[in-house]
Amino acid sequence: MPPVIEIDNVSFKYEGSERPALLGINLQINRGDFLLITGLSGSGKSTLLRLLNGLIPHFYRGEMKGRVLVDGIDTREASVAQLARKVGLVFQNPDNQIVTLRVDREIAFGLENLELSREEMRERIDWVLEKLGIEYLRKKSTYELSGGEKQLVAIASVLAMKPFVIVLDEPTSELDPFSSARIVKVLGNLNREGIAIVVAEHRLDLFSHRANRIIVISNGQIVREGNPRDLLYMKDISVYGVRPPTVVKLAKSYGVDDKPLTVGELLISMRRNIR
Assess 173 for contact with Mg ion (CB under 5 A): no
- In the DSSP assignment, the letter for residue 94 is G
Q: Which does 17 bind (CB under 5 to 8 A by kind): Mg ion, ligand ATP, none?
A: ligand ATP
Site for ligand ATP in 195-214 (CB under 6 A): 202
Phi, psi values for residue 273, rounded to 5°: -65, -35
Question: Which class for 192: exposed (0-12), middle (13-18), buried (19 or more C-beta within 10 A)?
Answer: exposed
Q: Does 41 bind ligand ATP (CB under 6 A)?
A: yes
Among 146, 189, 187, 142, which Cα is nearest to 167's?
Answer: 187
Residue from 6, 35, 45, 106 binding ligand ATP (CB under 6 A): 45
Q: Which part of the chain contacts ligand ATP (CB under 6 A), choosing from 42-50, 153-161, 224-232, 256-264?
A: 42-50
* Integer Cα distance of 199 and 201 in angstroms: 6
Least distance in angstroms from the C-beta of 43 to ligand ATP: 4
* Beta-bridge mates of residue 73: 70
3-state secondary structure of 62: strand
CB of 236 to ligand ATP, least distance (A): 20
| All residues at 6 or more sequence positions from 122 whose CB lies less than 8 Å from its CB, including other chains | none
From 39-47, 80-88, 185-193, 258-266, span contacting ligand ATP (CB under 6 A): 39-47
Phi/psi for 156 (5° steps) reads -60, -45
In the region spanning residues 3 to 32, those forming contacts with ligand ATP, defined by CB under 6 A, are 14, 17, 21
Please report how close the Cβ of residue 142 comes to ligand ATP at its closest, in angstroms.
Answer: 24
| Cβ nearer to ligand ATP, comparing 183 with 266 | 183
Which residues of this protein are in contact with ligand ATP, per CB under 6 A? Answer: 14, 17, 21, 39, 41-47, 60, 202
